[in-house]
Amino acid sequence: MHRRDVMLGYVLGVVGVAAFGITVPATRAAVQHLPADLVGTGRGLAAALCAAMLLFTLAERWPTPEQRRRLWWVVAGVVIGFPWLTAIALQELPAVHGAVVVGVLPLVTAIVAVLRAGERPSPAFWLAGIAGTVGVLVFVLRAGGAGFRFEDSLLIVAVVLCALAYAEGGRLAREMGGWQVISWALVMGAPLLAIPTLMVLLRGPIEAPAEAWATFAFLVLGPQFLAFFAWYRAMALIGIARASQIQLMQIFVSLGIAAWWLGETLEPDIVFFALWVLAAVLVGQRARVKLQTVR
């Protein structure tokens, strides 16, 4: 693999993680004024319309039957599961709490990459990933506040589904291209999203401030659609496991945005844990990961 491709993969990974880091606080802000079902399923349906227009305009070929079968993992994880479950959980949980629970996503993604994508990280990679995740978990115990709740279980299921979608989507991106993966997944999931979204809309007019609708629009175009262009391409270039290490920084993006945007309180030792996790990311990026051939 060329060094330029590796650098591009890291840059795209950081872009994707930055967008994903805003997802939890943005979802928390949106569900304060909009129905959680609308935020959880409506954003995917709206993104599917954008994806369909893009695919139609560029006359993209339909995925093969085998690719469509694998795309259902992406649909289940990042089109339906993660958005819907996090929207429900964040009705009750503060964004800070949600961010730290979702912080275990990188390690889960690395495990799934080994099981499904055939990647073989070195021991140094695993040590770095475990060290970073331990930092996240210690932070949860110190800053999580109210302990484990039912909503936490929803977030954990969301994390597992998301990790599966990342791993399968990363594999497919080597064959189809990153933006094609998320676009076809959104189009395939649209019929499943249409029914609950329409049920919400049929209940009656939804009154919400313009800021809530602007946040919803951001969730549609950013984390639900365009961010995956960068993220799946990054996974195709540098591998799923290594890209997951970059995502260790997502928790701190989420915490910073939650504090700035929502006024949620952060513990003063956030800098210490940020440096802990960033150090683990740097070590993980340098560790050897055996990848499948990138097409």
Q: What is the pLDDT of residues 158-214, one digit of tens each?
A: 999 999 999 899 889 989 988 999 999 999 999 999 999 999 999 888 999 999 999
Whether pLDDT at 117 is above 70: no
Phi, psi of 289 (to 5 degrees): -130, 120
Neighbour-count burial for 218-233, b at 16+ CB within 10 Å, e otherwise: bbbbbbbbbbbbbbbb
- For 109, 110, 229, the CA distances from 12, given in Å and listed in that order, are 17, 18, 9
Residue 106: pLDDT band with limits 50, 70, 90: confident
Between 19 and 266, whose confidence is greater? Answer: 19
Q: Tally helices (H) and strands (E) across the chain.
A: 16, 2
3-state secondary structure of 266: coil
Q: Where in the chain are the domains?
A: 3-290
Strand partners, 289: 121
Q: Note the pLDDT of residue 75.
A: 97
Q: What is the pLDDT of residues 40-57, one digit of tens each?
A: 999 999 999 999 999 999
Q: Note the pLDDT of residue 293.
A: 47
pTM of the model: 0.86
For CA atoms 191, 70, 54, 19, the dihedral sign is positive
What value does the mean pLDDT take over residues 230-249? 85
> Tokens at residue 45, please?
């349906």
